[in-house]
Amino acid sequence: MNRRDFIRTAGGTAGATAAVSASVGTAAASEEGGGGGGPDFGGYLSGANNYDGSVVDATGQDEVTVEVGAGSTGLAFGPAAVHVDNGATVVWEWTGEGGAHNVVAEDADFESGAPIGQAGNTYEYTFEEDGVYNYYCQPHKGSGMVGSVVVGTDYPTASSDGGGGGELNPIHMGVPFQAHFVGIATILMMVVSLIFTFFLLKYGESAHTKGGSD
């Protein structure tokens, strides 16, 4: 193999390395969802009863019902987290379980009034601005009876800074964990390609010269 063949081989190796790295990087970026995440509750639902980390998708509905006094003890909202369209009306309906309850927004946008325990009582509120609305039952907030309504499409989302609702992809130093492996693998493959090219050019050329002198 002569010098030109060596260069062609090394160039092909480097090109393949770049192609593989680009493909892996694209796949990793896709898995990371573009750096976004789920709704950012600011940790509000971390101790919420009846909350398993998921948000019930109720978009497409004009009216959505949330139970007041859900769960085995009646000290929960059901569902604890729900996503609705802008302009949708949420109707909180009392089950009669768990004692007297009410619905109070953390930002004071809505409030059902004094706690009551009667089954069938309802309170409704129409959401007309996108965002995340956290609320609670005044007598049982300390027992984990809190909930949240996600409205529309323009709401805070969990991001790579580690803040938010906790449903995040693995993060390391502010960069998606997979991206570090992609970068390291790319660098290693480039270094190997350069070393390979250097030795082939140096010793291959020497061997060719020596063979020619014979």
pLDDT by position in tens, the chain (length 214): 555 554 555 455 445 444 444 444 444 333 333 335 799 999 999 999 999 999 999 999 999 999 999 999 999 999 999 999 999 999 999 999 999 999 999 999 999 999 999 999 999 999 999 999 999 999 999 999 999 999 999 999 986 444 444 433 332 333 343 444 556 777 887 877 778 777 666 666 555 555 555 5
Cβ atoms of 54 and 150 closer than 8 Å: no
One-letter amino acid identity for 124? E
Cβ atoms of 147 and 84 closer than 8 Å: no
Q: Where are the domains of the chain?
A: 3-32+174-213, 56-168
| Three-class secondary structure of residue 133 per DSSP | strand
Residue 49: both structure tokens together = 């009863």
Q: Please give the angle made by the CA atoms of 68, 150 and 52, to the nearest 5 degrees.
A: 60
**CATH architecture of the domain formed by 56-168:** Sandwich (2.60)
181 C-beta neighbours (distance < 10 Å), count = 12
Cβ atoms of 14 and 191 closer than 8 Å: no
Q: Is the whole-model pTM more than 0.85?
A: no
Q: In what order do the strands lie in the sheet with 122-126?
A: 77-78, 63-68, 89-94, 122-126
